[in-house]
Structures are given as C-alpha cells and as structure tokens.
Homo-oligomer: A and B are copies of this chain.
C-alpha cells in the first residue's frame, strides 16, 4: 500500500536550516537562566537520538501503533493526521524543522504521522526519554510546557476550522508558516506540503485552496514564484484578512 506512495519527490528539496535555536528552546519563551540547562537537555537528548529518513508520503507511524519514539524534525516536514473510514482526512498539524512531535507519554500514538516530502528526523526512544525525565526533573516541566504549547496551537486551529471563512483560513495558514519560518519581510517562505495537505489542514477542498491562493495572488498580497514557495508582499493586509477585519 505504501509502496505506491513512495515515489521520488518531484520538486526541489524543501529542506532549509532551522532559524530557531537548538533543542528545547522552541518551547521556551525566554528564561535566560534555564538556557544552560536547556543545553544539557538538548545534549542528553542528542545522545539517545537515532537519525531517520523518510520519503514523500511515507508513514512514520500510524494511529494505534505503540509509541516507541518521539521525534524532532531536522529537515522536510511531517503531517499529523486522522483518517476516517470513508477516506476523509483531517490534518491536526504540521511539524516543521526544529519542532517536536510525540513527547506525550502515551502508550500508543493517537494519530498518524506522514512525511509531506523527503524528511529527516531524529527519533528519541520513549523508554530513554522516560529514564531521562526521572533523572532530570526539569524535563518533566519542559514536557508540560511543550504540551501546553501544543494545546494552544490546537485551540487556534479549532477557531480556524469552526469559525473562519475559506479566505481567512488560507491566509492564517500562510501567516503561520511564515511566522514559523521566522520570516517577517518579503523573503521566500517554504510551503513544504501539497495543496491537498493544506486543504486537509484547513478543512477545505483542494479546489477552494487553489482559488483563494489565486485570488491572493491576483490582489498582489502574495507571490508564488514556485509551487512550494511563497513570498508575502504585505503582512499587514494579510493579517487583516486572517483576523476577519476585511
């Protein structure tokens, strides 16, 4: 089944260096004093890590699988999805380079993870993470902070799906991707997933996503120099749309 999906990636590599500092810092607001400790933890994590490589559309783990590892994305991106029996699919989130996935202390995965393109991951064995949290109590706290951050992101996603229009949804995603890539000017932003992936994240059809993208292009709010690269021409105007002010 997956064999058919393991086609070579048809587009330019989407990997890019993470713009964020290493390790746990993704989930740390600030707290300079904890920086050293965060380094320790990052190092400890690094020691137990296994490098893995996945091709476009390859399954990393499935809903219901035993949770043997947690992961950090090195390059590429992964989608976390739920599949309904009739083929409908909802993507609960994308994990971009530098971001974590798993780390939930669950016996089984609650969703499926798939690579949206060629992707490199660091895998951290669950057992060793647990051992680590025994030794380093701060790891527990970080875990909580990580989960709290995830809950926050999901709340925004709920609003998007429940109450935003198609135009607001697409715009929100574009801004989210730009923000997570650390882009605040007209620098190119990678869109490391297919239009179908965007649609399944946004609760829309692929056609609607395309139409909105075309429209945003037409009114010169974005450019799409390549299929998987966007340039934002006006963050302010885009933000206004995402917030429903327009």
Q: Point out residues on A near B: beta carbons under 8 Å.
A: 82, 84-86, 88-90, 92, 104-106, 110-111, 137, 140-141, 143-145, 147-148, 150-152, 154-159, 161-163, 200, 202-203, 243-245
Q: Do A162 and B159 have beta carbons less than 8 Å apart?
A: no
Smallest Cβ distance from A170 to chain B, in angstroms? 14
Q: Which residues on the B side are within 8 Å of A202 (C-beta)?
A: 162
Q: Do A148 and B105 have beta carbons less than 8 Å apart?
A: yes
Number of copies: 2
Cα distance, A27 to B150, chains bound together (Å): 18
Q: Which residues on the B side are within 8 Å of A92 (C-beta)?
A: 155, 158-159
Q: Which residues on the B side are within 8 Å of A200 (C-beta)?
A: 162
30 CB contacts below 8 A, A to B, read A82-B155, A84-B163, A84-B243, A84-B244, A85-B243, A88-B244, A90-B158, A90-B159, A90-B163, A104-B144, A105-B141, A105-B145, A106-B148, A110-B151, A110-B152, A110-B155, A137-B137, A140-B141, A140-B144, A143-B144, A144-B144, A147-B151, A151-B151, A154-B155, A157-B158, A158-B161, A161-B161, A161-B162, A162-B203, A163-B203
